[in-house]
Structure 1
């Protein structure tokens, strides 16, 4: 079903434990969402045998997320890109900046009024793009866009795999209401228990 909206854009900081596996902080609202564009790159290999394709393997390699937002405040910019905020709350960008990866969550409204929820488990953001224009005969809003590389997480889930994304549609059969109601309380952890 088609989506007709986008909102509730959150991020969660990531710290690594002694094994290099992710520990997610409490989700924090990033900004008001304008757009989100996710593209995925696959690693692909084909084994040929007996004059034809015998096996084909396609695995997630990485992805790119481009987020259009209303504004990125200084604390969010510091968490996402590593910029420094000085004692006067001025953001200072340095050539050595490079923020730590974060988890990113958001939801998209569907035409039936329900939502599709997402968590991207590990995103490394670059410096936000800025587009500015002078005010002419009409008013045009200029908003920042921030692009990040989506990676699989280091921490395996309970099935031993390394997820890169979780998504669920509100109202789908057998989806517990608690999954939806707690989506932004913490980064979703896959549950394969029976």
Structure 2
């Protein structure tokens, strides 16, 4: 299990418009304000393969990615984008038919040396099951935040990398690890949140 727990900022969400074996398309990313903290955990199932009474191989298969984010609040338009609610003429309407939308999630984190690391996860859904808390105002005003949980997964359309077909989960660019020859990644870093980024490689 790989776990990363850091302060996150510049959280963006883009609606996945098509995700099948031949096509992956997304809308324009939308900034989700008020991010407080987040945790991203990539989960792997491990299986030991034995032969002749000896451990021959350990197979690690990706299963899913768990997302836990905390925000100051979510606006009606953000709730509509994430949870499929209706945001119409000033009304935020929840219905029994609401279904969380499939989205891509992008975010940035700052390393100790001030360098930036940016990531896009390609497809998943968030749950609104955490709910909201209310209480009577007392002598001290309580601080309330909005927590959401999501499950992300590999996208269906394969991408060929080094001659092999791969189903992408996410892509990350670490500013401190880049060299002058990483021209495509450097270009992507400059405009990371304008669109969901696809890794591109030199010919």
Question: Shared topology, TM-score over 0.5?
Answer: yes
Cα root mean square deviation, aligned: 2.2
Alignment of 1:1-194 (within 5 A): 5-16=7-18, 19=21, 21-86=23-88, 88-127=89-128, 129=130, 130-159=132-161, 160-174=165-179, 175-176=182-183, 177-194=186-203
Report the CA distance shift for 1:18/1:165 in structure 2 as closer, same or farther (over 3 A).
closer
1:59-81 per-position Cα deviation (integer Å, ceiling 9, x unaligned): 21101101111221112211111
1:15-38 per-position Cα deviation (integer Å, ceiling 9, x unaligned): 117756320111110222111111
- Aligned counterparts of 1:113 and 1:4: Cα–Cα separation in 2: 14
- Aligned counterparts of 1:188 and 1:94: Cα–Cα separation in 2: 33
Shift of 1:128: 5.5
Q: Alignment length, in residue pairs?
A: 192
Q: Which TM-score applies when normalising by structure 1? A: 0.88
User: Would the aligned equivalents of 2:72 and 2:145 in 1 still touch at CA under 8 Å?
Assistant: yes
Task: Provide structure 2 residue ranges, at least 5 long, that are not aligned to the other structure.
Answer: none
- Aligned counterparts of 1:117 and 1:39: Cα–Cα separation in 2: 16
Shift of 1:4: 6.7
Report the CA distance shift for 1:167/1:137 in structure 2 as closer, same or farther (over 3 A).
same
Q: Which secondary structure state, in structure 2, belongs to the residue aligned with residue 142 of structure 1? A: coil
Q: Which secondary structure state, in structure 2, belongs to the residue aligned with residue 161 of structure 1? A: strand
Q: Which TM-score applies when normalising by structure 2? A: 0.84
Report the CA distance shift for 1:50/1:8 in structure 2 as closer, same or farther (over 3 A).
same
- Aligned counterparts of 2:10 and 2:45: Cα–Cα separation in 1: 31
Task: Provide structure 1 residue ranges, at least 5 long, that are not aligned to the other structure.
Answer: none
1:69-128 per-position Cα deviation (integer Å, ceiling 9, x unaligned): 122111221111111224x42222223211221000010111211111111111211116
User: Would the aligned equivalents of 1:14 and 1:103 in 2 still touch at CA under 8 Å?
Assistant: yes
Shift of 1:192: 3.6
Q: Which secondary structure state, in structure 1, belongs to the residue aligned with residue 81 of structure 2? A: helix
- Aligned counterparts of 2:123 and 2:169: Cα–Cα separation in 1: 7
Q: Which secondary structure state, in structure 2, belongs to the residue aligned with residue 77 of structure 1? A: helix
